[in-house]
Amino acid sequence: MNGTPIFEHRGETCVKVVKRVLAALCVFAMLLPMAAIADDSFSMAHDGFSTSYTYNYDYWGDVQMSPDAYRVSAVIDSTTLGLENLDGKRLMKPQGLFVRDQDLYIADTGNNRIVQVHFDGRDFAFVRAISEISGCENNTFNSPYDVFVDQEYNIYVADYGNFRVVMFDKDLNWLKEFVKPEDATFDQNLDFLPKKITVDVAGRLYVLANNVNKGFVKYESDTVFTGFIGANKVSVNMGAYIWKRYFQTKEQRAASESFVPTEYENLYMDKDGFIYATNTVFSEYDLKSDAAKPIRCLNGIGNDILVKNDRYPPIGDLWWISESVPYGPSKMTDITVLDNEIYVTVDRTRGRLFGYDSQGIMLWAFGTKGNVDGAFTSPIGIEHMGYDLLVLDQLENSVTVFSPTEYGMMIYNAIETYLRGEYDASAELWQDVMRLNANYPLAFRGIGRALLRQDKYKEAMDYFEKAHDRQNYGRAFKLYRKEWVEANIWWIVIVLAVLLAVPLTLKRIKRTKWEVMMYENSTVHKAG
């Protein structure tokens, strides 16, 4: 072979490869700190913890990771409460929980009792197990599914297996009970099976019963049944109608109507007396069109008045077709409403919590399935104690307590400051939120709303545009247009006057010239 020997070519090639590898390693070493800094800019709060699984959705429905809004602060179970030392009974498939002040009440369904727990500001401690009451013939519970405590600390228990809701005072003295209504609107062939309950300030009881499909059963404080509230609209299927009408006996039709399952899963009454309810029976194709309504807010006559001012209604996860997570849309098994009008739901499909503000805009989402702290096997209930969130897991037999991080409290402070009418301060707080999460649409929207309240319409338009908030952008634009017209009205009048006067003047000049020309022509003609 002529030229350079083959081994020299190979040597040069090896040298080039080594140089390229070293160069790539140098570039990687330089980019690694920058990547870490960039990652920290959206996934770390000031307290130094990196985010694990908190996210939100942008305008296009894409997942955007964010700093953690909440973290696990405690886990309440049989061991931490010392129940094994009490009577040897561990929590067994609890189905409900309720918070009144600093006390937590757990419906320990499998053990036929209510467990009361107190929070002293640092720790949760066992107070008592309520398994018997005095003053009535049936003084024990049978599969209690839910519990409620009013402001006088009277306790209501959805005593599922005893077909009643029983009310007793804090000293466990029987007061009254609510049983199956002897009314024609309630099917007398069915048992009264109360699963979830809530009570308003007037003592009216609302019951979610297992085999009632007409909405929530409503009782007055004197135990008198007064009807149903919040019944779902029934869509008629022609095929089913024909089958029932012409091919079923009278008894079969009655049975099929009686055993239609309720669409509601749970309910919660906020401080203003509105009932928030969750619905898990729907077609997944109806979710994004808002036909399913998995979360509802019912007024006194049972109409849904939930505000939905985001691009998508509050339905939990926007996408649920994936090989890496359980398939299916979010199924909200419970809901709680904070005093700042923020409501939080828990999803049994993927074990996630979703927080929404009063406008139906998602604040954050987090959670997963599993058996480690912060994950769930079968979440069944949610409550709040102040800003803390408490999630009940019926299979793990535990309550996980989540406390807000600095980032989460920033969001709450910004929202509450706005609700108090302190718009300048609210805008500043939203700016602080943006420093931790620059991809947070609610921060843009929050600043825009604050500026709108300050009559700074042009600046508000800029932020609403960044948030892709067309509705508020339109409001700001109308107000800005009105303000601009009022500020420039005289210039507008002058311009309009000029625009009107110029054609008239030109027309007048043209007519005068024509008259002069005609006059001159007639004079010349006479002279000739």
DSSP collapsed to 3 states, 214-259? CCEEEECCCCCEEEEECCCCCCCCHHHHHHHHHHCCHHHHHHHHHC
What is the arithmetic mean of pLDDT over 178-197? 91
Phi, psi (degrees; rounded to nearest 5) at 18: -60, -40
Task: Please report the pLDDT score of residue 250 as a whole number.
Answer: 67
pLDDT at 373 over 70: yes
List Cβ neighbours of 302 (8 Å cut-off, separation of 6 or more). 215, 228, 229, 230, 231
Of the spans 245-254, 394-403, 473-482, which averages the highest pLDDT?
Answer: 394-403
More confident residue, 231 or 296: 296
pLDDT at 502 over 50: yes
Task: Please report the pLDDT score of residue 239 as a whole number.
Answer: 61
Task: Please report the pLDDT score of residue 201 as a whole number.
Answer: 95
**Residue 130 in tokens:** 């309520």
* CA dist list (Å): 70 to 52, 195, 298, 411: 10, 29, 28, 11
Task: Please report the pLDDT score of residue 254 as a whole number.
Answer: 56
Task: Please report the pLDDT score of residue 387 as a whole number.
Answer: 97
Task: Please report the pLDDT score of residue 263 as a whole number.
Answer: 72
CB 278 within 8 A of CB 266: yes
Task: Please report the pLDDT score of residue 395 as a whole number.
Answer: 96
Confidence of residue 225 (pLDDT cuts 50, 70, 90): very high
CB 69 within 8 A of CB 45: no
What is the arithmetic mean of pLDDT over 333-352? 96
Task: Please report the pLDDT score of residue 6 as a whole number.
Answer: 33
More confident residue, 457 or 233: 457
DSSP annotation string for 264-319: EEEEEE-TTSPEEEEE--S-GGGTTTTSS-SEEEE-TTS-B-----SSS-S-S-S-
Confidence of residue 382 (pLDDT cuts 50, 70, 90): very high
Weakest mean pLDDT among 72-76, 212-216, 219-223 = 212-216
Weakest mean pLDDT among 64-73, 212-221, 253-262, 325-334 = 253-262
Task: Please report the pLDDT score of residue 119 as a whole number.
Answer: 96
What is the arithmetic mean of pLDDT over 21-34? 42
Task: Please report the pLDDT score of residue 528 as a whole number.
Answer: 57
CB 360 within 8 A of CB 310: yes
CB 355 within 8 A of CB 404: no
- What pTM, to 2 d.p., does this model score? 0.78
Kindly tell me the burial class for residue 109, based on how many C-beta atoms sit within 10 Å of its own C-beta (0-12, 13-18, 19 or more).
Answer: buried
CB 253 within 8 A of CB 243: no
As a whole-number percent, the residues of the chain with pLDDT over 90 amount to 50
pLDDT at 40 over 60: no
Q: What whole-number distance in Å separates Cα of residue 273 and Cα of residue 298?
A: 9
Weakest mean pLDDT among 80-84, 130-134, 200-204 = 80-84
Task: Please report the pLDDT score of residue 247 as a whole number.
Answer: 66
pLDDT at 192 over 60: yes
Mean of all residue pLDDT scores within the chain: 83
Confidence of residue 7 (pLDDT cuts 50, 70, 90): very low
What is the arithmetic mean of pLDDT over 474-485? 72
> What are the structural domain ranges in the chain?
65-231+262-403, 423-487, 489-528
Go through 466-499 and write b for each residue having 16 or more CB atoms within 10 A of its CB, e for each that does not: bbebeebbebbbebbeeeeeeeeeeeeeeeeeee
Task: Please report the pLDDT score of residue 305 as a whole number.
Answer: 94
Weakest mean pLDDT among 156-160, 223-227, 516-520 = 516-520
pLDDT at 158 over 70: yes
**Reduced 3-state DSSP string for 510-527:** HHHHHHHHHHHHHHHHHH
Q: What whole-number distance in Å separates Cα of residue 207 and Cα of residue 180?
A: 11
Phi, psi (degrees; rounded to nearest 5) at 247: -120, -5
Weakest mean pLDDT among 438-452, 470-484, 501-515 = 470-484
DSSP structure class, residue 44: B
The DSSP H or E segment spanning 479 is: helix 470-487
What is the arithmetic mean of pLDDT over 244-265? 62
- Closest listed residue to residue 437, CA positions, set 35, 39, 42: 42
Task: Please report the pLDDT score of residue 11 as a whole number.
Answer: 45
What is the arithmetic mean of pLDDT over 46-64? 69
Confidence of residue 189 (pLDDT cuts 50, 70, 90): confident
DSSP structure class, residue 22: H
The tens digit of pLDDT for each residue in 71-95 reads: 999 999 999 999 988 877 999 999 9
Task: Please report the pLDDT score of residue 324 as a whole number.
Answer: 61
Class (C level, CATH) for 65-231+262-403: mainly beta
Task: Please state which CATH number belongs to domain 423-487.
Answer: 1.25.40.10
